[in-house]
Amino acid sequence: MSWLGLTHKGVEPLFPEEWNAVVDGLDILKQYTDQSVKFDDLKALPSDIVPAKTDTYSLGKPGVFWLSLYARNIVTGDVHFTDIKCALCGEEFREGEAIIFIVLERGSESIRTVPVHLRCALRHGYRDF
């Protein structure tokens, strides 16, 4: 029996109430597909995007990144970096170490930076801070 309460009848004709159940089922399916998010809906959203549940969903994942994220303000808890090694000494950062950023590239509207140990920056003569 189907979710509409219909059974397979082979070549027997459907009774009117069975046809009505089929039409009702198609209407339910159409409403469902009309409400689902389509690719075109995501190209330019005229609204906020809010996850259904806090601390549950991700945008991207390890190894699968968005190329660029543009935002005026970013409000966050912890900040994570994929650069886990100091750009000056090559050692991996350890918990409790102080880091700063060195500007690698100056674009017209942004800078690109890398994290380094504070001690390495001082050792290499960075004293602009």
* Residues found near Zn ion in the complex (CB under 5 A): 86, 88-89, 117, 120
Contact 93, 84 (CB under 8 A): yes
Task: Tell me the sheet residues that pair with 100.
Answer: 116
Select 89 or 122, whichever has its Cβ closest to Zn ion.
Answer: 89
Select 30 or 124, whichever has its Cβ closest to Zn ion.
Answer: 124
Q: How far is the CB of 94 from Zn ion (least distance, A)?
A: 10
Select 9 or 85, whichever has its Cβ closest to Zn ion.
Answer: 85
Q: How far is the CB of 88 from Zn ion (least distance, A)?
A: 5
Residue 83: both structure tokens together: 């650069």
Q: How far is the CB of 82 from Zn ion (least distance, A)?
A: 17
- How many angstroms separate the first and last alpha carbons of the chain? 74
What does the alpha-carbon distance between residue 19 and residue 13 come to, in Å, rounded to a whole number? 10
